[in-house]
Amino acid sequence: MLKLSDKVIHLILIAFFYGFYFAALALFLSFFPMYFDYLGFNGRQIGVLFALAGLTKLFASNLWAYIATRYLDELQVIQIACLGSLIAGVGVIFVHQYVLMLITVTIFGFFCTGILSQLEMVTLKGLKLANGNTDAYGRLRLYGSIGFVVSVLCGGVLFEMYGIQFLPVMYVGMFVVLFLISLLLIPGYHLSNNLSLSTIKKSKSLKSLLSDKSISIPVVLFLLAGLLLNVSHGPLNNFFGIYLKGIGYSEVDVGIFWAVSVVAEICLMAFSVRIFERFNVVHVFVFSIAIGVVRWSVMPLVQGATHWHEWLVLFLLQVLHAFNFGAFHLSSVKIIEKLFSDGHAVQGQALYSSVCFGLGGALGSIISGQAWLYGAEALFFVAVLCSFFGSICAIKLKSYLKFS
In this prediction, residues 162-188 reach a mean pLDDT of: 88
CA distance 402 to 246: 46
CA distance 355 to 116: 15
pLDDT at 200: 44
- Nearest-Å Rg of the Cα atoms of the chain is 21
CA distance 76 to 72: 6
pLDDT one-digit tens code per residue, 75-128 = 889 999 999 999 999 999 999 999 999 999 899 989 998 898 788 878 877 777
CA distance 137 to 14: 11
Dihedral of CA 44/50/53/54: which sign?
Answer: negative
CB–CB of 322/261 below 8 Å? Answer: yes
Task: Residue 278: name the closest of 397, 403, 156 by CA.
Answer: 403
Dihedral of CA 53/150/31/374: which sign?
Answer: positive
pTM for the structure as a whole: 0.72
pLDDT at 342: 56
Give the pLDDT band (50/70/90) at residue 317: very high
Task: Residue 24: name the closest of 167, 202, 137 by CA.
Answer: 167
CB–CB of 137/123 below 8 Å? Answer: yes
Task: Residue 273: name the closest of 402, 397, 141, 122 by CA.
Answer: 141
DSSP 352: I
Domains of the chain: 1-189 (1.20.1250.20), 200-404 (1.20.1250.20)
pLDDT at 201: 47
Query: Residues for the chain: how many in total?
Result: 404
pLDDT one-digit tens code per residue, 137-161 = 777 888 888 898 888 778 877 887 8
CB–CB of 114/81 below 8 Å? Answer: yes
In this prediction, residues 6-12 reach a mean pLDDT of: 79
Comparing 87-101, 241-255, 300-314, 328-342, the range with the smallest average pLDDT is 241-255
pLDDT at 142: 81
The secondary structure of 383-395 as a DSSP string is: HHHHHHHHHHHHH
Task: Please give the backbone phi and psi of residue 122, each rounded to the nearest 5 degrees, phi first.
Answer: -60, -40
User: What does pLDDT average to over the chain?
Assistant: 82
Which comes out higher in pLDDT, residue 284 or 194? 284
Dihedral of CA 147/153/159/164: which sign?
Answer: positive
Task: Please give the backbone phi and psi of residue 278, each rounded to the nearest 5 degrees, phi first.
Answer: -95, -35
Q: Is the pLDDT of residue 50 over 80?
A: no
